[in-house]
Amino acid sequence: MSQSLSEECTPLKREYDACFNAWFEGYLEPALSASANAEQRTKFAQQKAAEFDSSCGKIWQAYRQCVQKAVKDKGLDVLLDQARTENPLTEPPP
């Protein structure tokens, strides 16, 4: 797996990557058949979202905070703000 933006964030990135990959593997398992109705698929998605929050949520928040600090420490926050001002993303790309 790749390094994070900041060396101090890399251990958190690795921990999060491992957690996410384990969760995502379970998400992709054919737990519901293709014939499941929309209500069943919605319920499954909600259960998986709650599972993600419970198992990976705290790790994600810690990693995210670390990266946000690194972005600010490297002065990248100014560049990001400038890019968002010059080319605002007003709607998702096609």
The stretches of the chain forming alpha helices (DSSP H) are: 10-28, 38-73, 76-86
Cβ burial, residue 16 (10 Å; 0-12/13-18/19+): buried
Query: Hey, what amino acid is at 55?
Result: S
Task: Give the span between the Cα atoms of 26 and 10, in whole angstroms.
Answer: 24
Task: Give the span between the Cα atoms of 44 and 32, in whole angstroms.
Answer: 8
Give this prediction's pTM: 0.76
Copy the structure tokens of residue 72. 């600010």
**pLDDT tens, position by position, 9-41:** 999 999 999 999 999 888 776 555 555 677 887
Query: Hey, what amino acid is at 28?
Result: L
Average pLDDT over residues 43-50: 87
